[in-house]
Chains A and B, each alone.
Chain A
Amino acid sequence: MTSQAAPVVTTPSLPDDPFSTEILTDPYEFHQRLREAGPVVRLAHYDLYAMGRFDEVHASLRDWETFISGRGAGLADFARETPWRPPSLLLEADPPNHTVTRNVMNGIVSPRAVRALREGFSVLAEEIAERMVERGEFDAVADLAEVYPLQVFPDAVGLPATGRENLLPYGALAFNAFGPDNELRRAALAGAAAVQEWIAASCQREALAPGGFGAQIWAAADRGDLLPEQAPLLVRSLLSAGVDTTVYGIANTLYSLASNPDQWDVLHADPKLARFAFDEALRWESPVQTFFRTTSREVDVAGTVIPEGSKVLLFLGSANRDPRHWGEDANRLDIRRKASGHVAFGMGVHQCVGQPLARLEVELVLTALARRARRIELTGTPVPKLNNTLKGWSSVPVRVEAA
């Protein structure tokens, strides 16, 4: 309880806007300056604190008591501003309330439930891989990453067949909304109403097919594990966090391998490495680049005293390339490296609940491709897709050579 005299440090400040088009397009040069500047950095543009080194990002993600989520995982402070939607019961909540809903979700997206999906997912993964290799040239985003997850995931949730085209726009909206009031966020919110209407309707009990994750959330409410009004919000969490992330995950993995064809050779020689290739690609080109937390108390991080109630921007993508943790070759893609422990899924009590599902989807489709294709290469310049939270591509043109 007694406060120790902390060494006085001057917290460095950077003028950059991490949500500018330049940095969202290619964040890595900025990440390096952020990490070099210090463990805690002021971002003068938004008057907030930021962390880009692995150790501090990792520790802050795990310290849910100090770096809370209930005041929003975006720039908006829910203690001062009205959230754009009713807050998430998972991402934007803290223990003990978070514990109740998280336990329900852990029970539903459980290892056993995910194992049961393997066979069905595998059939579709093999089919799409077969088609892509037959074609030879395809767009890893439009033809694969945006297709396969949308074949498997909505059925696993039990969503209605019509209106699924709203899923990608809703994901983009949810992730853009974590950012500042910039053009990306304004454009996303401007088109939100119709998408939100479909999402809200699809979260209701009667919209969800029996046996799916959605129906199981409602069953948890029937058992008394949840309140009935919590059920649609938890279904909504599946829809906002379960689609775009996987689409970006697949696209970024194929981008990573196509731009490092030597790593595809390693994978093709031993397709069982697909799980490791995905993990390394998540580290190297993390789909979720940033999340905010809010300090629940004054806290000293590496000599910087952050006051209570401060927004802190955690750069997951930067932590995942911090040479202090990953070694001097942190910027190199190496699917045989020990990438485990990266923070692309977050860490601690809020770590992605759908992680086993994402890993299953990507393992299956990547294994299927790696067995069939001996080579992959880019045939054009990939086109970045800008989002305030997600890093990814709207087009990754590739050519594969059948084995």
Chain B
Amino acid sequence: MDHTQAEADLTLKVSRRVSAADRVAVIELRDPFGGDLPAWTPGAHIDLVLGPRLVRQYSLCGDPSNRSVWRIAVLREPDSRGGSEQLHTAAYENDLISVRGPRNHFLLDSAPRYLFIAGGIGITPIIPMITTVAAAGAEWELHYCGRSLASMAFHEELKSISPDRVELYSRDQPASIDLDGLLANPRPDTLVYCCGPESLLRAVEQRCAGWPEGALRTERFAPKEQGEPVRQGAFEVELAQSGVTLTVPEGTSILDALEAAGVQVLSSCQEGTCGTCETAVLSGEADHRDSLLTDAERAANNTMLICVSRAAGPRLVLDL
């Protein structure tokens, strides 16, 4: 996990929008005033904030050395998702979009040789990886599968980098991907990067069981992540109803500290998603670390989820 890149809240302009394949739109984002965008590394993704609660992640698939533009590719999935549908119908050229990031949970490590396996729209994080390793002179090959060539974004661009290193598989191509053959012999000099639908990830994982630990790199959806707490170290919590004041040490939740002190408090998920432990804040500022309260509720600072949220200052007074 890479925390070296500071995460930014940006408002970017859709500078270009073109169709890249069946149901795939490529969207380019720029700073509306022409400034540089934050630096990123291959495998990074950004959050597009499409509505109060609609945040979608897209891998950056352009050139990391070009700081003036970010490129993403969006698959329209009419059967399942709200986000991609909205982007498809609402992100027109010159529109402004809220963006957070970039963030990288799919880091490209250096190796003498790479095996890239991509399925469908999963090609997007692989593209900057390939341009980077190709420029560095590493050995690499890409195996890219999709429903049909027409549905496979960027296949021509990829072929043009190195025709012999790129294999395309689809129903309209003669050969289908031979994962057993590709992954039959574990090689200590090779990293396998795979991105695509769950079925492909599972199939590759099974066949990599005999490969060295860490040889296979995949990217999957992960629950909402929180940054570091606002305040390092302990803080005090005063319970207004019972008159008790206790110290919550660093690394201990308010909930655990209350229970350790014998205060009966209700909780359930203990990860900031269910809302059962919601407690009124009478004074002091909370560092909200839950996945439930809205931005307005956080700003109002009159309630908090004590299982994960902490104090932003030295002291909180709770209605307990």
Listed in ascending order, the chain A residues whose CB lies under 8 Å from chain B are 1-3, 65, 95-97, 99-100, 103-104, 106-107, 110-112, 114, 220, 223-227, 230, 275-276, 279, 296-298, 308, 336, 338, 340-342, 345, 347-349, 351-352, 355-356, 359
Contact = CB atoms under 8 A, between A and B. Distances in A.
Nearest to A336: B264
B90 A110 contact: no
A358 to B, nearest CB: 10
B289 to A, nearest CB: 15
B54 to A, nearest CB: 5
Given A107-B53, A356-B275, A226 B82 contact: yes
Contacts, number: 118
Contacts of B273: 106, 349, 351
Grouping DSSP codes into helix (H, G, I), strand (E, B) and loop, the B interface class, with mixed when no group exceeds half, is loop
A341 B213 contact: no
Nearest to B269: A351
B220 interface: yes
Among A100, A275, A342, chain B packs the most CB atoms within 10 A around the CB of A100
Interface string B257-301: 001000011111110011110100000000000011110010000
Given A100-B80, A359-B266, 9 more contacts: A2-B210, A2-B212, A96-B221, A100-B82, A107-B294, A341-B267, A349-B273, A351-B268, A355-B268
Contacts of A230: 82
Given A95-B221, A224-B86, A111 B275 contact: yes
Nearest to A353: B274
B293 A224 contact: no
A106 B206 contact: no
Contacts of B209: 1-3
Among B90, B205, B216, B274, chain A packs the most CB atoms within 10 A around the CB of B274
A189 B303 CA distance: 45
A1 B216 contact: yes
A253 B85 CA distance: 44
A342 B212 CA distance: 39
Contacts of A112: 294, 297
A110 B81 contact: no
Nearest to A108: B53
Contacts of A110: 275, 292, 294
A114 B213 CA distance: 47
A351 B86 contact: no
Contacts of B206: 297-298
Interface in B209-266: 209-216, 220-221, 223, 259, 264-266
B188 interface: no
B51 interface: yes
Contacts of A297: 202, 205-206
Given A110-B294, A276-B264, A347 B269 contact: yes
